[in-house]
Amino acid sequence: MNYTQFLTIFISAVFINNVIFSRFLGLCPFVAISKKTQPALAMSLAVSFVITMASVITWLIFRFLLIPFNLIYLRTITFILVIATFVQFVEMVIKKINPALYRFFGIYLALITTNCAVLGAAILNSESFFNQGRPLPGSFILSIFQGLCMGLGFSLAMLLMSGIRERLDFCSVPKSMKDFPLAFIIASLMGLSFLGFSGFKF
């Protein structure tokens, strides 16, 4: 385990294989919550927290429970239960600290439970840092770091999108293109721009 591995994971998760623009995971909150920067930032922090903590717990469960007892076929359902637990925790914290933000999120906060970006990170960790049922050297730390970087990639996409959509409020936009139609066009153009990072080689 060296600095090159961490740098590779960081650039790959944030830019090259961005969870939204390259893997197309987590598009529901990306489109729905990115209208304003403050809610987008709050959602980004919540998703990043869940992804990182889920990476910790799912690695431990996969390493010490599913593999030893030959229960790998239960990986998906187990990971979803772990994610759901953390989402409930985040939901309770936000509801207690900022009720207005909790009401703004509405159903999208609960949908982190089935946010494929979170589940995708957990599954990707179990496939990237295990070889034939054995963890690779430093796989625990690398799994946590990759989960954190995927959360950063999600946050980057959310904040870029919210910044653009806020500025569009001051522009004259045809009625037929307002809100979601224009949001999908912007997301497509941003996805194309992120393809430029795919030329990076290590």
- Using one digit for the tens of pLDDT, what is the confidence trace for 9-50? 999 999 999 999 998 888 888 888 888 898 888 888 888 988
Rounded CA separation 202/197 (Å): 12
Percent of the chain with pLDDT over 70: 97
| Res 155: pLDDT | 94
pLDDT of the residue at 200: 65
pLDDT of 114 strictly over 80 = no
Quick one: pLDDT at residue 202?
54
Q: What single DSSP character describes residue 34?
A: T
Question: What is the mean predicted confidence (pLDDT) over 151-162?
Answer: 95
Instruction: Give the three-state DSSP class for 45.
Output: helix
Q: What is the pLDDT of residue 49?
A: 86
Given this model, what pLDDT does residue 153 score? Answer: 95
Tokens (6 digits) for 68: 């030893």
Handedness of CA 108, 110, 115, 121 (dihedral sign): positive
Q: Is the confidence at residue 146, as pLDDT, over 90?
A: yes
pLDDT of residue 87: 84
pLDDT in tens, 169-193: 888 888 888 888 888 899 999 988 8
Q: Write out pLDDT tens, residues 47-62.
A: 898 899 999 999 999 9
User: Where is average pLDDT lowest: 124-133, 162-171, 172-181?
Assistant: 172-181
pLDDT of residue 112: 76
SS3 134: strand
pLDDT at 199 over 80: no
pLDDT above 90 covers a percentage of the chain that reads 46
Q: CA 140 to CA 81: how far, in whole Å?
A: 20
Identify the top-confidence range among 35-44, 114-123, 147-156.
147-156
Q: What is the pLDDT of residue 113?
A: 67
Whether residue 89 has pLDDT greater than 90: no
C-alpha to C-alpha distance for 180 and 152, rounded to whole angstroms: 24
